[in-house]
């Protein structure tokens, strides 16, 4: 497990850059994680998505399905991917401090 | 029905041959591949999106409705235990001038495409190791 300075804190991350301790997440951590997912700066639209994902995870223990994310945020699929080029599962969830999602072969 | 041939190239990369067409399928870098082509799960969802597109194009051609430049965007979520595609979201964007009152009919057409039907009535799958 590696360590990376995010938001001014040295945090443990996995091989794909997902933080291991959700309690350490804050806006500064999110901003630095965003840079690793092709998002130079988190705009109000980005935060709308990130905050929803985070609130959903805290309540349900999992990431929201992509359609639910669209409905809640008001963004179409294409707009979600424009905001988060690496996708909602990898990009947005990582920035929101969630654990790494299920991968596939 | 043509044979769909999947031949190993290197690592987790395969060449898919369908009639005179070829494409490369690979695992992502995170999943131990070289990202040399789409993943099987992505192709699966693409088959639904493109099937919807073709059905809509046919419907619009028959009904003399505008469809040039239409787009079908698809995204999916993976589920665990077992690993599978847990949900698929499809957005259809029609060109300007497509009548609002035809949207419901369009959705019915999309939901009746062969791939959509197949997902609702999963086929028998028989896998064998042959000599």
pTM for this entry: 0.90
- Residue B21: the pLDDT is 97
Q: Using the beta-carbon criterion (under 8 Å), do A66 and B74 form an inter-chain contact?
A: no
For residue A6, pLDDT beyond 60: yes
- Residue A100: the pLDDT is 86
Q: How far is it, in rounded angstroms, from Cα A7 to Cα A26?
A: 8
3-state secondary structure A65-90: CHHHHHHHHCCCHHHHHHHCCCCHHH
Residue pairs between chains A and B whose CB atoms are closer than 8 Å: 55
**Which parts of chain B are beta strand (E)?**
4-10, 13-18, 21-25, 71-79, 84-93
Is A80 touching B (CB cutoff 8 A)? yes
A88 CA: distance to closest CA in chain B (Å): 9
- Residue A22: the pLDDT is 87
B82 CA: distance to closest CA in chain A (Å): 10
Number of neighbouring beta carbons within 10 Å of residue A65: 20
- Residue B13: the pLDDT is 98
* Confidence class for position A104, pLDDT limits 50, 70, 90: low
Is A72 touching B (CB cutoff 8 A)? no
Is A71 touching B (CB cutoff 8 A)? no
B62 CA: distance to closest CA in chain A (Å): 28
* Confidence class for position A29, pLDDT limits 50, 70, 90: very high
Give me the tens of pLDDT residue by residue for chain B, a chain 131 residues long: 899 999 999 999 999 999 999 999 999 998 899 999 999 999 999 999 999 999 999 999 999 999 999 999 999 999 988 999 999 999 999 999 999 999 999 999 999 999 999 999 999 999 999 99
Residues in B touching A16 (Cβ below 8 Å): 30
Q: Using the beta-carbon criterion (under 8 Å), do A88 and B75 form an inter-chain contact?
A: yes
Question: What are the tokens at B124?
Answer: 């028998």
Average pLDDT over residues A74-90: 94
What mean pLDDT is reported for chain A?
93
């Amino acid at each position: 497990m590696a360590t990376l300075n995010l938001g001014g804190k040295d945090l443990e991350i996995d091989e794909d850059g997902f933080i291991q301790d959700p309690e350490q997440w804050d806006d500064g951590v999110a901003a630095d994680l965003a840079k690793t997912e092709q998002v130079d700066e988190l705009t109000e639209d980005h935060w709308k998505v990130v905050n929803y994902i985070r609130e959903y995870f805290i309540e349900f223990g999992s990431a929201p399905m992509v359609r639910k994310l669209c409905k809640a945020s008001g963004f179409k699929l294409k707009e979600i991917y424009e905001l988060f080029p690496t996708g909602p599962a990898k990009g947005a969830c990582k920035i929101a401090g969630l654990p790494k999602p299920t991968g596939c072969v | 029905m043509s044979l769909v041939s999947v031949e190993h190239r290197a690592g987790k990369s395969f060449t898919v041959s369908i009639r005179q067409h070829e494409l490369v399928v690979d695992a992502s870098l995170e999943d131990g591949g070289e990202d040399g082509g789409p993943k099987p799960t992505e192709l699966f969802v693409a088959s639904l999106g493109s099937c919807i597109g073709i059905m809509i194009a046919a419907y619009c051609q028959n009904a003399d409705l505008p469809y040039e430049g239409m787009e079908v965007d698809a995204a999916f979520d993976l589920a665990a235990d077992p690993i599978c595609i847990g949900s698929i979201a499809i957005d259809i964007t029609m060109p300007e001038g497509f009548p609002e009152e035809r949207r419901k009919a369009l959705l019915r057409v999309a939901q009746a495409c062969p791939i959509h039907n197949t997902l609702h009535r999963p086929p028998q799958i028989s896998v064998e190791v042959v000599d």
